[in-house]
Chain A
Amino acid sequence: MARQKLTPGLDALLAFDKAGVRMPRRRRRKGDGRRQRLRRIAGEVKRDEVWRLRHATFSVEEGESVAIVGGRGSGREALLRLAAGTLVPDEGTVRRRLGVVPMIDVARSFVRQYTVRQNIYLVGGLLGMSPEAVTESLGEVVTFAGVESILDKYLGTTPPVIRQRLAWATAMSTNARAYAIEQVLIVGERDFRQQCWTRVDRMREDGVTFLLASDSPKQFRRFCDRAILLDEGHVVAQTTVPDAIARLRALRRADRPSPDEPDDSASGPTGDDQ
């Protein structure tokens, strides 16, 4: 359990201290797998790692809602995973006083061959709930996601929308004091979205902490007290939400004139790998 170790005496809920993480580069550049391998053997492409996040230093107080503003590949997911402890920093430290629940593409963790009920147990378990706790909150999850009628059907047959709802409902049922939310989770029908946001609002009033990464400025404006602007894995600024959004737009505009560097500009600085 070392990676989610809690630091009880911490003055903030979450503290990043010069934290950084290297990830293996995932996106393929050109050609198929075989060609890639040949290139690697030829030394053309190194199987290298990219700093997804570097020297990130910030802290989050309890009850805050923080927007993680940044484009694709700016290190949002790495930051959220570090916060929740499902990733271990390669440099610096990440300390937390309370457990942070990662809501990062939860729907992808569902298993199609399991029934809806089994999936709730599975994902609840992954998120750190005991079987009894899941049983207790099962009713709530089921109503929230609206899956009463298909509770014992296999998930493979249900539409993606339902899966998203289920993901959201299950994650929310953990009753944690802090969440790290990735934008992919925030989809679905409008009604349901509304329902979710009402829930989030209520939880915020209760003093639950949120880290929210999204592509939607609207959501940021509505839900976040302040923002952390990420660019190429660096924390560029910690400002207000509108300011961060404006600056992100400016960054994007500045990036546009050089589209011939395919992924590099988006995935962080290279060449400084040790």
Chain B
Amino acid sequence: MLVLRDLQKQYTKFRLGYLWTLLEPLGMSIVLWFVFSVLLGARALGLQPYLLFLSVAILPWWWFTKGIAASTRVFRRAGGQLRISLLPTEIWVLRVLIVSMIEFLFSLPVIVVAMIVTRTWPGPLIVLFPVAVALQFVLMYGLSLLISAGCVVIPDLARIVRIVLRALFYLSPVLYSISNIPEAVRGLAALNPLVGVLGLYRIGFWPEEIEDAYGYAVSIGLSIVILAIGMIVFRRTEPRILKEA
């Protein structure tokens, strides 16, 4: 309950820029679509229509980057508030996560726009979309706990995270489809928990996309493991976090 109110406060800043939440990913999708589909004519990359293919994955990806990047500085920004806060410390992490998720949900009309432009409509498997959101939430919560706590102990971690995020963008099937990866390394690539998450987002549009359950199993398993580790680590570091305030 308290989180929501906390969030509501945070949110007043965003409302003005709501239009931007829409325009930013839309613009991004168009640019990438233009580069990869029109300029490079890479027909083999991803699935058709490419514009929709991109935007369905780019929105969750943005949520992921923003949430994780924000979690590197939660406690630096909390400052004095931590000194009087009687709320569980996890709330600070949860809050940035929810803020970024709401931004994501508000940017969903971009997919609708892409659907209209490309005249492609989702199949019945679109019901898995909320599942994908939930899975990503669990995964991100675990990671955020881990990273926010880690950044307090090792300040340099924030920079490492930024680089890793960059790398992860290309390592995850955002621009391409998992089927573009050579068979040999596909198993290795599927170890990335985002593979399953992004797959779940896309499955509604391309039911033929991923038939094997391997990627999903890895995603779900890893998300839970990361969440467990995150919670333990966070508990352990909590005294340190409080001291930084």
Q: Shortest beta-carbon distance, A114 to chain B, in Å?
A: 6
Q: Choose the segment among A64-72, A121-129, A188-196 that binds chain B (4+ C-beta atoms closer than 8 Å).
A: A121-129
| A24, A90, A127: the one within 8 Å of B84 (CB) | A127
C-beta contact mask, A10-40 vs B, less than 8 Å → 1, else 0? 0000000000011110000000000000000
Question: Do B243 and A24 touch (CB < 8 A)?
Answer: yes
Give every chain B residue within 8 A of A106 (Cβ-Cβ). Answer: 84
Do A87 and B243 contact each other (CB < 8 Å), given the known contacts A3-B238, A105-B80, A126-B86? yes
Which residues B85-121 have CB closer than 8 A to chain A? Answer: 85-89
Question: Do B5 and A128 touch (CB < 8 A)?
Answer: no
- Tell me if B239 counts as interface (CB < 8 A to partner A): yes
Which residues A187-206 have CB closer than 8 A to chain B? Answer: none
Question: Do B80 and A108 touch (CB < 8 A)?
Answer: yes
Closest to A176 in B: B86
Do A102 and B84 contact each other (CB < 8 Å), given the known contacts A114-B12, A121-B5? yes
Considering residues B9, B87, B243, which has the most beta carbons from chain A within 10 angstroms of its beta carbon?
B243
- Tell me if A85 counts as interface (CB < 8 A to partner B): yes
Which residues B3-47 have CB closer than 8 A to chain A? Answer: 5-6, 9, 12-13
| B81, B88, B245: the one within 8 Å of A1 (CB) | B88
Give every chain B residue within 8 A of A104 (Cβ-Cβ). Answer: 83-84
Which residues B194-245 have CB closer than 8 A to chain A? Answer: 235, 238-239, 242-245
Do A87 and B81 contact each other (CB < 8 Å), given the known contacts A121-B5, A125-B2, A125-B6? no
| B9, B86, B244: the one within 8 Å of A86 (CB) | B86
Give every chain B residue within 8 A of A4 (Cβ-Cβ). Answer: 86
Closest to A134 in B: B5
User: With the chains together, A200 CA to B85 CA distance in Å?
Assistant: 22
Question: Do A102 and B83 touch (CB < 8 A)?
Answer: yes
- Tell me if A111 counts as interface (CB < 8 A to partner B): yes
Question: Do B242 and A87 touch (CB < 8 A)?
Answer: yes
- Tell me if B82 counts as interface (CB < 8 A to partner A): yes
- Tell me if B160 counts as interface (CB < 8 A to partner A): no
User: With the chains together, A49 CA to B165 CA distance in Å?
Assistant: 32
Question: Do B83 and A81 touch (CB < 8 A)?
Answer: yes
- Tell me if A113 counts as interface (CB < 8 A to partner B): yes
Question: Do A109 and B9 touch (CB < 8 A)?
Answer: no
Question: Do A114 and B80 touch (CB < 8 A)?
Answer: no
Question: Do B6 and A84 touch (CB < 8 A)?
Answer: no
Do A127 and B5 contact each other (CB < 8 Å), given the known contacts A24-B244, A109-B80, A114-B12? no
A residues with a Cβ closer than 8 A to B are: 1-4, 21-24, 81, 84-88, 90, 99, 101-106, 108-109, 111, 113-114, 118, 121-123, 125-128, 130-131
22 A-B pairs within 8 Å (CB atoms) are namely A3-B242, A21-B243, A23-B243, A24-B243, A24-B244, A81-B242, A87-B242, A103-B84, A105-B80, A109-B81, A111-B9, A113-B13, A114-B12, A121-B5, A122-B5, A123-B84, A125-B2, A125-B6, A126-B85, A127-B85, A130-B1, A131-B2
* Sample of 6 further A-B pairs with CB below 8 A, known A90-B239, A122-B9, A125-B87: A23-B243, A105-B83, A123-B84, A125-B5, A126-B85, A128-B87
